[in-house]
């Protein structure tokens, strides 16, 4: 029997996602393990692998569709010996139930043209209670088959679907067909604003590429799933987590000398430590020295961790993401460096797996490479703290009782006061400073 391919849950917290790109097309032979699509979750864009085997009969959710609920049928697979055309007819969104992500309120949907009196009655029923629109072109007699997303785009862009040739299964009009068509004379369509206000329908003009807001020109860009979740989580963090901030100046000369020596030793192995690698290790060791700060707030309880998993902020094209260096307190510096480079590359390519960015007992954010001297970072719940480090720069500094020039970095800790008292936070900052200024503690 036909196999329904459903929107997968690619992470424990995923409820919906964006079907970013199809990597297969109807008619392709699918084997278990084949990559079928790229799906954008709340954290990254991930590849979806096939579990079953067969021939892809139809695609029910077009690429680019946002808000596709987990469990929604996105495609149909025909098993060996089945009629692919029959499976396609039975599996499209037009023949069966539309995916939840593409359903629209009834007031916004145009009735599909049908033959004869039934078509006229359907149109009259849909237009009951509102002003009659301008006369629309009569259907050619053939039923127009189009995906809900294609219909929506056609309505917004003023495109008559009767003039569009479909490239989907059985001539189905899909998103790409509408986008490549030129706007012509159309049946009047109801805009979303008019539909909500129950006003007479009008032609929906094509949205301009840019507009003005109180005289300031701008371009509108839709939020990605990643940006939406960043906005939601950080807003919740600032509203619900009582932050307090502590800052210390750290002399880096000894740490920079140690880094130079280690890199000279590891050069033959192709390993090159960054300052950030050493700071990850320093934070992890400091958390083990002050375990009161290696915690997370869990409403009625506090989780106290016996190892330090450090989440490291990485700027990816889709938004900020925090891959995790697990067991950073016991890992060697070379291992931290190698893993950090691999995770950062995967983060920028949107290829991180859920276990590589979910979790962590504390976070580190470094903006020193941009010349930032000091900043306060927002805590990533349910973690109890995040360390923000700025640039190391030459500053006047008292060394052995005399004023000298030293390389100094400002580190700022943001702490969740529900889980970590001020005195404990101060001890962590002191331990971090000591480990950076006496870095042999990072290699023994």
- Determine the straight-line distance between the first and last CA of the chain, rounded to whole angstroms: 62
Catalytic residue among 243, 303, 355, 417: 417
DSSP result, 141-204 = SSPP-B-HHHHHHHHHHT--GGGPPP-SGGG-B-HHHHHHSPP-S------HHHHHHTPPP---
Q: For the CA atoms of the chain, what is the radius of gyration?
A: 29
355 catalytically annotated: no
Ranges of beta strands (E only) in 393-442 are 393-399, 402-416
Q: Which residue has the tokens 């701008």?
A: 218
DSSP secondary structure letter of residue 108: G
Q: Which two tokens stand for residue 375?
A: 């900043």
**Nearest partner of 364 among 380, 342, 388, 390, judged by Cα:** 388
Q: Which residues contact 274 (CB under 8 A, 6 or more apart)?
A: 337, 340
Q: Which two tokens stand for residue 175?
A: 């998103």
Return the active site residues.
417
């Amino acid at each position: 029997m036909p196999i329904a391919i459903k929107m997968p849950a690619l992470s424990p917290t995923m409820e919906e996602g964006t079907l970013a790109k199809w990597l297969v097309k109807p008619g392709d032979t699918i084997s278990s393990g084949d990559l079928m699509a790229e799906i954008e979750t709340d954290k990254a864009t991930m590849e979806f692998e096939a579990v079953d085997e067969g021939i892809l009969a139809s695609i029910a959710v077009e690429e680019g569709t946002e808000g596709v609920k987990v469990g929604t049928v996105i495609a149909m697979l025909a098993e060996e010996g089945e009629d692919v055309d029959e499976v396609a007819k039975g599996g499209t969104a037009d023949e069966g139930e539309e995916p939840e992500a593409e359903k629209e309120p009834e007031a916004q949907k145009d009735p599909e043209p049908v033959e004869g009196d039934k078509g006229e009655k359907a149109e009259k029923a849909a237009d009951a209670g509102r002003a009659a629109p301008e006369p629309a072109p009569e259907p050619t007699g053939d039923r127009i088959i189009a995906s809900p997303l294609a219909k929506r785009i056609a309505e917004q862009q003023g495109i008559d679907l009767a003039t569009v040739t479909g490239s989907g299964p059985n001539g189905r009009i899909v998103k790409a067909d509408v986008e490549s068509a030129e706007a012509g004379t159309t049946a009047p369509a109801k805009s979303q604003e008019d539909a909500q206000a129950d006003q007479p329908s009008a032609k929906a003009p094509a949205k301009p590429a840019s507009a003005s807001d109180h005289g300031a020109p701008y371009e509108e860009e839709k939020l990605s799933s990643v940006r939406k979740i960043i906005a939601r989580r950080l807003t919740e963090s600032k509203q619900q987590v009582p932050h307090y901030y502590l800052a210390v100046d750290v002399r880096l000369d000894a740490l920079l000398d140690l880094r130079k020596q280690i890199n000279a030793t590891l050069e033959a192995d192709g390993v090159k430590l960054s300052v950030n690698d050493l700071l990850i290790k320093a934070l992890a060791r400091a958390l083990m020295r002050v375990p009161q700060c290696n915690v997370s707030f869990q409403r009625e309880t506090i989780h106290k961790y016996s190892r330090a998993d450090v989440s490291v902020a990485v700027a990816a094209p889709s938004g900020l993401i925090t891959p995790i260096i697990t067991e950073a307190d016991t890992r060697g510096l070379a291992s931290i460096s190698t893993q950090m480079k691999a995770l950062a590359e995967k983060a920028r390519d949107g290829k991180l797996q859920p276990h590589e960015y979910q979790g962590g007992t504390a976070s580190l954010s470094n903006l020193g490479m941009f010349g930032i001297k000091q900043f306060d970072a927002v805590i990533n719940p349910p973690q109890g703290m995040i360390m923000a480090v700025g640039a190391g720069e030459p500053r006047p500094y008292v060394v052995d009782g005399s004023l000298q020039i030293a390389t100094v970095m400002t580190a700022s800790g943001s702490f969740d006061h529900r889980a970590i008292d001020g005195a404990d936070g101060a001890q962590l900052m002191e331990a971090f400073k000591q480990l950076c200024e006496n870095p042999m503690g990072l290699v023994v």
